[in-house]
Amino acid sequence: MKTLRDVKVGQSAVVTKLNGEGATKRRIMDMGITKGVEVYVRKVAPLGDPIEVTVRGYELSLRKEDAAMIDVKED
């Protein structure tokens, strides 16, 4: 399964599933990343962390570990 961490800069993907549990999963959902939402990867920091994405019309930075918990399918 492909995760948000695997999506290349300039590509969009649709969230299919959130892995993880408890506070971390809740935090990701609170940021607006839920099943079925489209996520556009804007840029990745030079060392690969964090990843900057656009979700629901706003910009968001995610750690690599968090992005790896978000299953996606390419748009």
User: What backbone phi and psi angles, to 5 degrees, belong to 28?
Assistant: -65, -45
Q: Is 52 helix (H, G, I), strand (E, B) or coil?
A: strand
Compute the distance between CA of residue 20 and CA of residue 10 in angstroms, rounded to an integer.
Answer: 26
Strands (E), the chain: 12-18, 38-44, 51-55, 58-62, 70-74
Contact call for residues 72 and 15 (beta carbons, < 8 A): yes
pLDDT digits (tens, 9 = 90+) for 12-24: 999 999 998 899 8
pLDDT digits (tens, 9 = 90+) for 14-62: 999 999 889 989 999 999 999 999 999 999 998 878 999 999 999 999 9
Whole-model pTM? Answer: 0.89
- What CATH superfamily classification does 4-74 receive? Ferrous iron transport protein A (FeoA) (2.30.30.90)
